[in-house]
Amino acid sequence: MKIPNEYPKFINKSALLIVLGREDGTLYLASNGFIDKITEFGVRIPKYSDREGFFLRSGGGRLLGTGSVYEPKIKMVERRFLNDFSEKIKKILKENKVTEIYLFSPKFMHTYFEQEIPPKYLKMVRCKFNGNYRKNHPLELLDKIRIQISKSHPGPVPVNKEARKILSKFKIINKRKG
């Protein structure tokens, strides 16, 4: 898909946009004015019809407590997802000459991401966005990147007083900066 003019186009660069959730993810590659979905991956959380792991605790002829063990199922799904992610990301980083990486995921996934990605590529991570971006359109992701870039690289500040005065009339720069 062609990137509209208001978004970063990554000319002579190749940016990998990694969108992760707990059990699924999507990888986009943006380069020279185009953004393409490379792959989508994920694992399904198993749904059991019976109450596996359900137990009763009793003693002295009385029922003391009940419960079930569901937590290991979530850990198992996370582990399978991370293994799948690790395979995909390593393959894509080998096939494409990536110069920048942007991560869109819940905050708890950042540490998993850092563990799974090869160390030499961690230096390429430009920004990490916290939140659930799984359902967002790629242009919405590019808009987040555009906003972050504009915050970190403000426009040029005029040097002389006359230029500041003219620009402040049009509210282009803040009067407090000059």
Q: What tokens appear for 132 in the block?
A: 């659930």
Structural domains of the chain ordered from first start: 14-43+78-169 (3.30.420.60)
State pLDDT tens for residues 111-168: 888 888 888 889 999 999 999 999 999 999 999 999 888 887 666 655 577 777 776 7
Q: Report the chain's C-alpha Rg in angstroms.
A: 24
Instruction: Look up residue 115 and give its two tokens.
Output: 């563990």
Helix, strand or coil, per DSSP, at residue 104: strand
pLDDT at 178: 44
So what's the pLDDT on residue 16? 94
Tell me which residue has tokens 């230029």: 163
Contacts of 164 (CB under 8 A, 6+ apart): 158, 173, 178
For residue 22, the SS3 value is: coil
Q: Percent of the chain at pLDDT above 90?
A: 34
Tokens, residue 81: 């997802």
Mean of pLDDT over the chain: 81
50 vs 25: CA distance, rounded Å? 29
